[in-house]
């Protein structure tokens, strides 16, 4: 098995490792694996759409399915590309897609209904047959008695009376049988309906509230050693692999909400962790299952992007020596060009916030010209009121003086807190020319900073 290796510059631009892995795949295996990754990506996009539009409970379930489907590709990829020692060279047939939670609930409910209905029918039939037999026996006795009396008279009269007696007996038997059937159907049926409905609800509740591990996620997914071997061979870092396995254990242990109103901040974190882990696995495997033309296009776009950035850097370096005076806030990305802009984080108003781009890490920076002596730096995390769906989760704060990092701080905000308070950092009274907040992780939709101040 291969060890985890960092993704080198050559591999990033030329995808040489992906090319070697692709050459070991048969065309059938490559096509199958690519289709399965594509379907998982489609599910993930649908989950994001549901989540962004307020359908968080269903979005989380669908993201779990997308994560499982992506991780299910790891082992057959390793076998087909011969990463796993002794494994066959062909892709395993795709595992049956797990039924959606609602389908499982409906199936369990239908089975409960079927079983209870069958029991009710059998009980009703047994009771009905017993009562019908009694009624027929009683009727037969009556018929025989009346028929015997009638036979002592004239044949015609006897036949008429026998017919009348038989008719009455039949009517009585039929009435008693109907009563028995009605009683059986009414009592047993009502009881069965109540029990069936209750058991169906219980079955549906058990499915919806059971940990996702009961859905067989552990059995469907490759074990830890296989995941580490295959993703490590595809140049995914050890930390990224650890995040993937941590996300898998978290979803297996989680109880997913049935209703959107029951979604908690922990579910928000779980959704983000699943989404990030799924993307990491897909990035590791996608290049090796692409067609040659797709890999060629990626090489061209990456090299071209670097060329454009190099040109932009050359132009930007010219203006770097002509800094404007004042306090200038900038950011790696903005949610909107006109709302929640960087200036909102240094305007002295804690109710206005800077929002980074959706689902992006990045940085927020303040340039100070001329430099100012700063003793204490204060940062207030955002939360995007009234939605409470954006904030910085983990950040590195760097203080620059004379072109170098004079001090650095790591800070975590484990929860989105609408009542958050300023966090203070002792800068030490140095001449500060730049403050940079590097967003390593964010809550829910993206990063947010309410206010940065100093004294």
User: What's the whole-number average pLDDT of the chain?
Assistant: 75
Structure tokens at 277: 């882990």
**What residue numbers bound the domain in which 185 lies?**
104-209
Same domain for 124 and 197? yes
Q: What is the pTM of this model?
A: 0.44
pLDDT band of residue 418 (cuts 50, 70, 90) is very high
In a domain, 278, yes or no: yes
Q: What's the total number of domains in the chain?
A: 3
Same domain for 245 and 138? no
- Give residue 180's pLDDT: 43
Answer yes or no: is pLDDT of 348 > 50. yes
**In the Cβ-directed half-sphere of 136, how many Cα atoms lie within 13 Å?**
7
Same domain for 364 and 440? yes
Please name the residue that has the structure tokens 């029990």: 195
* pLDDT tens-place string over residues 134-154: 544 544 444 344 435 444 443
Using the 3D structure, point to which of 267, 290, 313 is the last residue of a domain.
Answer: 290
Same domain for 88 and 229? yes
- Give residue 416's pLDDT: 95
- Give residue 25's pLDDT: 85
Alpha-carbon distance of 37 to 135, in angstroms, equals: 68
In 3D space, the residue among 313, 340, 332, 326 whose CA is nearest the CA of residue 395 turns out to be 332
- Give residue 97's pLDDT: 45
- Give residue 411's pLDDT: 97
Same domain for 185 and 203? yes
In a domain, 306, yes or no: no
Same domain for 146 and 86? no
Using the 3D structure, point to which of 209, 227, 257 is the last residue of a domain.
Answer: 209
- Give residue 63's pLDDT: 97
Q: What is the 3-state secondary structure (H, E, C) of the chain?
A: CCCCCCCCHHHHHHCHHHHHHHHCCCHHHHHHHHHHHHHHHHHHHHHHHHHHCCCHHHHHHHHHHHHHHHHCCHHHHHHHCCCCCCCCCCCCCCCCCCCCHHHHHHHHHHHHHHHHHHHHHHHHHHHHHHHHHHHHHHHHHHHHHHHHHHHCCCHHHHHHHHHHHHHHHHHHHHHHHHHHHHHHHHHHHHHHHHHHHHHHHHHHHHHHHCEHHHHCHHHHCCCHHHHHHHHHHCCCCHHHHHHHHHHHHHHHHCECCCCHHHCCHHHHHHHHHHHHHHHHHHHHHHHHHCCHHHHHHHHHHHHHHHHHHHHHHHHHHHHHCCCCCEEEEEECCCCCCCCCCHHHHCCCCCCCCEECCCCCCEEEEEEEEEEEEEEEEEEEECCCCCCCCEEEEEEEEEEEECCEEEEEEEEECCCCCCCCCCEEEEEEEEEEEEEEEEEEEEEECCCEEEEEEEC
pLDDT band of residue 377 (cuts 50, 70, 90) is very high
In a domain, 305, yes or no: no
- Give residue 12's pLDDT: 57
Same domain for 88 and 223? yes
pLDDT band of residue 16 (cuts 50, 70, 90) is low
* pLDDT tens-place string over residues 45-57: 999 999 999 999 9
Same domain for 44 and 65? yes
Task: Choose the weakest-confidence range: 66-70, 183-187, 256-260, 388-392.
Answer: 183-187
Task: Choose the weakest-confidence range: 82-91, 186-195, 291-300.
Answer: 186-195
* pLDDT tens-place string over residues 218-228: 444 448 899 99
- Give residue 17's pLDDT: 63
**Residue, of 15 and 7, whose pLDDT is higher:** 15
Same domain for 160 and 92? no
* pLDDT tens-place string over residues 280-332: 999 889 888 877 676 677 667 766 787 888 888 777 666 555 455 689 999 99
Same domain for 334 and 448? yes
Same domain for 203 and 108? yes
Same domain for 139 and 261? no
In a domain, 319, yes or no: no
pLDDT band of residue 270 (cuts 50, 70, 90) is very high
In 3D space, the residue among 43, 100, 443, 61 whose CA is nearest the CA of residue 262 turns out to be 61
**Residue, of 13 and 255, whose pLDDT is higher:** 255
Using the 3D structure, point to which of 159, 179, 209 is the last residue of a domain.
Answer: 209
pLDDT band of residue 441 (cuts 50, 70, 90) is very high
pLDDT band of residue 384 (cuts 50, 70, 90) is very high
The CA distances from residue 167 to 182, 212, 402, in Å, are: 22, 65, 115
* pLDDT tens-place string over residues 420-436: 999 999 999 999 999 99
**Residue, of 242 and 304, whose pLDDT is higher:** 242
């Amino acid at each position: 098995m291969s060890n985890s290796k960092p993704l080198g510059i050559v591999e990033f631009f030329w995808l040489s490792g992906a090319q070697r892995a692709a050459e070991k795949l048969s065309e059938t295996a490559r096509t199958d694996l690519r289709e399965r990754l594509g379907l998982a990506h489609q599910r993930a996009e649908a989950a994001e759409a549901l989540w962004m539009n307020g359908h968080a409970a269903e979005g989380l379930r669908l993201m779990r399915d997308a994560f499982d489907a992506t991780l299910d590709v790891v082992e057959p990829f390793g076998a087909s590309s011969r990463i796993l020692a002794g494994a066959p060279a062909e892709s395993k047939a795709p595992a049956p897609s797990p039924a959606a939670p609602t389908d499982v609930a409906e199936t369990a409910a239908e089975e409960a209904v079927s079983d209870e209905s069958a029991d009710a029918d059998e009980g009703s039939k047994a009771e009905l047959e017993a009562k019908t037999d009694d009624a027929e026996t009683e009727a037969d006795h009556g018929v025989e008695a009346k028929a015997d009396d009638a036979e002592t008279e004239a044949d015609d009269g006897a036949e008429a009376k026998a017919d009348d007696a038989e008719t009455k007996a039949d009517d009585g038997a039929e009435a008693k049988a109907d009563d028995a059937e009605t009683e059986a159907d009414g009592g047993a049926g009502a009881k069965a309906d109540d029990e069936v409905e209750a058991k169906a609800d219980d079955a549906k509740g058990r499915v919806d509230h059971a940990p996702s591990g009961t859905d067989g996620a552990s059995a469907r997914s490759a074990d830890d050693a296989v995941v580490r071997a295959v993703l490590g061979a595809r140049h995914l870092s050890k930390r990224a692999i650890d995040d993937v396995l941590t996300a898998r254990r978290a979803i297996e242990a989680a109880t997913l909400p049935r209703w959107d109103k029951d979604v908690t901040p922990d579910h928000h974190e779980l959704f983000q962790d699943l989404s990030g882990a799924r993307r990491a696995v897909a990035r590791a495997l996608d290049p090796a299952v692409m067609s040659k033309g797709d890999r060629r296009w990626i090489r061209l776009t990456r090299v071209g992007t670097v060329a454009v950035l190099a040109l932009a850097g050359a132009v930007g370096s010219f203006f770097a020596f002509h800094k404007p005076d004042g306090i200038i806030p900038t950011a790696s990305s903005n949610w909107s060009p006109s709302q929640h802009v960087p200036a909102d984080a240094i305007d002295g108003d804690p109710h206005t916030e800077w929002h980074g781009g959706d689902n992006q890490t990045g940085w927020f920076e303040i340039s100070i010209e001329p430099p100012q002596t700063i003793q204490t730096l204060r940062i207030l995390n955002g939360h995007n009121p009234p939605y409470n769906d954006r904030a910085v989760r983990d950040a590195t704060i760097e203080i620059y003086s004379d072109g170098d990092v004079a001090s650095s701080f790591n800070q975590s905000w484990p929860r989105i807190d609408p009542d958050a308070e300023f966090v203070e950092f002792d800068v030490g009274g140095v001449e500060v020319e730049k403050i940079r907040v590097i967003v390593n992780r964010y809550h829910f939709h993206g990063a947010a900073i309410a206010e940065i101040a100093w004294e």
